[in-house]
Amino acid sequence: MTKLIQKITASISIMALLMMVAPQSFATVSSISVSGDIFTSNVAAAAATQGGTGVITVGFTTANAVSVGGTVTVTLNSVNATTIATGDLGFTLTGGSAATAVSIAGSSASKAVISFTVGTATMTAGAQSITITQSGTTTLITRAAGAYATTVVTPAEVGSQLAYIGGANQVVVSAVVEPILTFSLSANTANLGTLTTAGVSTATTVSTIATNATSGYSLFAESDNAATTTGLYDTVSLETIIPAASSAIVAATSNFGLYVSAVTQATNGDGTVAATAGFDNNGAGDLAITAAAQSIATSAGTADGDTVTATYQGAVSAVQAAGSYATTVTYTLTGNF
């Protein structure tokens, strides 16, 4: 008999344990809508305030019916329940049911705990809603950034939904792309050779440009010589071959000039490189190079190897003093970031 009692007791204990761990079904909080989107996820924390005569509507869907006499509890975190009374609550329940024995016991300035008993008829499975109309003047909701839960508990199920305020469930991924601006010259010397009255001598250099400046770049040029003036200068005779517009330089005249004779567009860039008016050698408004930097080529977008070919010109008259003439052309590249 003792053994039998022990077996029966053990069986009852196991059954009780199984009953305790039997899983519940879960409700889903189907909709939470508030005037001013207070319960909508990812509104700015500063905007998460409801005051005045605001009305909050909490919608939730139950998967199981609740019989008459059953209790339903809805908890709204970060709702200041000190500003409401049970008379401010409205209920729309399925199955023709009514909410009785409404209570906000357990509520505080940081949460509203609303419980009611199902009366009149069974609350059938489906969409339910509760409205809260503010009766006081105290702010009804004030939320800092964070995650706030609305929970629903019935005799048969429990459900919860989070509202994330101020990006509490978001990660802002950031990165920095360093500005790129590179420049190189094909050579640092350009030899015009021996200048004669028979023609115009030329030489070229090529500038290669790369930049990730979204508004492109500008290439500037200026000419300085040993006399701190502009043009080709001879340090012995102290004579200068003065600059002139490229299209005006002809044989038997003493002039020095520069113009952009070619440009190429890099495949990966999105800008269009072009010679600046004044240095395109088209005969209309061409400019002489000076000691002040002037733009000779521009692009309105990025570049990954644009090239700008500069052609230098020299010509002399029959009375130009003999000598070795030189000038330094300085290029400056500016990125328009």
pLDDT tens-digit series, residues 94-150? 999 999 999 999 999 889 999 999 999 999 999 999 988 876 655 666 667 888 888
Of the ranges 2-6, 133-137, 245-249, which one carries the lowest mean pLDDT score? Answer: 2-6
Sorted by sequence, the CB contacts under 8 Å of residue 316 that are 6+ apart come out as 195, 196, 197, 241, 252, 253, 254
Burial class (CB in 10 A: 0-12, 13-18, 19+), 84: buried
Of residues 302 and 60, more confidence is placed in 302
Distance CA 126, CA 154 (A): 13
Q: Contact, 32 vs 131, CB < 8 A?
A: no
pTM: 0.66
- What is the set of domains in the chain, with CATH numbers? 25-165 (2.60.40), 181-335 (2.60.40)
290-295 mean pLDDT = 97
Distance CA 137, CA 83 (A): 7
Q: Which residues are registered as beta bridge partners of 163?
A: 148
Distance CA 298, CA 316 (A): 31
pLDDT at 10: 38
Confidence of residue 78 (pLDDT cuts 50, 70, 90): confident
b/e sequence 152-184, b meaning 16+ C-beta within 10 Å: bbbebbebebbbbbbebeeeeeeeeeeeebebe
